[in-house]
Chains A and B, each alone.
Chain A
């Protein structure tokens, strides 16, 4: 059991979304759905975050930003792509500047479909992501133990 499940902090980034999905994400944080009761906090700082919520597709301008933010989130981390634009480019897929979904630049763990994705789907996606987060954490612990044993047996 890790603490990650009980206190997942979210960073939300709008890649090139029309803001429809973003509004639904913020709706999830309002008193109607009140995600804070699960310990979820929307922090705008990647260094403090565990879950990377991305909406919108990737284009030339924001692909570096998305990569930069992803790198600045400390492990273990999960990426949740919200909305059809983040999954594959959506209705803008054929545009000259759109590269496609978010998985073109960073590894995505959960795709939440919809245009715009509904708060219930978003919450469902985040809960799935929590499970993945926990397994990643266990893997990290294992690796950490393994490297310690390796350095121990090397001596």
Chain B
């Protein structure tokens, strides 16, 4: 048998190489489905790749050179977080690495002294603190079911995690809306037509920096949907189906519900985390003590 560390490294490398392709395709399918929902034809599925290709062809223009550093760090640590996840590492560490990379994006927006980036950065921070409790509860819930924080152990456990963590799963889906930057929670920046503070966090980035941010988003999609997979890990076919249905629901919600204010985002995300998340975990804790050894 191949040794465990080797499999981990192979998985990580595969992630680094293939995730952008998969993520870009997901983004492209997203735009196509959105267009169809709106009664339009929509761009070709490979459009996101054309977009990023074009961005790298543009002139190297910045507001301040520190933007290069922050965007590069954002991308690098996003890749690190995802690679850690797919190589089977510790889920909490993955979450912290993930937060780290987002902070760099926020700092990059703060670096240029523009009102749009600034408000975008504040809202992005609010989004981060809105979803963080819930994803920590997700990791904790998985531990309670499988007795391990390691992604490899969770995936290979064969336990139907979704049956034990239905509340956490729904909570995660709601928080996924925030992370995927879909309406109603696309406060800090959003795709294309949904402007409010111009482009929010990404206002003052251009050319290759913007391209790198887009690629980082692709890595992020793959990672986030990978977490959905974990809930259904015991049956890969079911898991993929769940991912497709979940993403379709996200697109549907995006197109039907309009953006809410940050206060509502924060409150509802925390309320959801508090109720669905903690109650589910609490019930599980109690049951484990009483029913299961």
Contacts and interface: CB of A to CB of B under 8 A. Distances in A.
A9 B40 CA distance: 18
Interface of B: 31, 35, 38-44, 47, 50-51, 53-54, 57-61, 192-193, 195, 198-199, 202-207, 210
B198 A37 contact: no
17 contacts: A3-B53, A4-B57, A6-B47, A7-B47, A9-B54, A31-B39, A34-B41, A36-B43, A37-B42, A39-B50, A39-B51, A41-B193, A45-B198, A45-B199, A45-B203, A47-B204, A48-B199
A7 B193 contact: no
Contacts of B205: 47
A75 interface: yes
Contacts of A8: 54
Contacts of A42: 193
Contact of B59 (A6, A9, A74): A74
Contacts of B43: 36-39
A43 B47 CA distance: 16
A37 B40 contact: yes
Interface residues of A, number: 26
A147 interface: no
Given A43-B192, A48-B210, A2 B57 contact: yes
Nearest to A42: B193
A37 B31 CA distance: 10
Main secondary structure of the interface of B (DSSP, over half): loop
A39 B47 contact: yes
Q: What are the 4 tightest A-B residue pairs by CB atom distance, in nearest-first order?
A: A3-B53, A47-B206, A6-B50, A75-B59
A131 interface: no
Interface in A1-15: 2-4, 6-9
Contacts of A76: 57-59
A63 to B, nearest CB: 22
A8 B51 CA distance: 8
A22 interface: no
A43 B206 contact: no
Interface in A136-150: 137, 140
Nearest to A140: B59
A74 B199 contact: no
Contacts of A34: 35, 40-42
Contacts of B192: 41, 43
Interface in A85-130: none
Nearest to A38: B43
Nearest to A33: B40
Nearest to A137: B57
Contacts of A50: 54, 58
Contact of A3 (B41, B54, B199): B54
Contacts of A20: none
B204 A37 contact: no
Given A44-B199, A45-B199, A74 B42 contact: no
Given A7-B50, A7-B54, A39-B50, A31 B206 contact: no
Nearest to B199: A45
Contacts of B31: 36
B207 A74 contact: yes
Contacts of B39: 31
A7 B53 contact: yes
B153 to A, nearest CB: 42
A44 B198 contact: yes
Nearest to B48: A7
A37 B40 CA distance: 8
Contacts of B198: 44-45
Contact of A74 (B41, B50, B53, B58): B58
Nearest to B196: A44
> Which of B47, B54, B195 has its CB near the most chain A CB atoms (within 10 A)?
B54
A3 B255 CA distance: 28
A4 B40 contact: no
Given A36-B42, A43-B199, A74 B54 contact: no
A2 B43 CA distance: 17
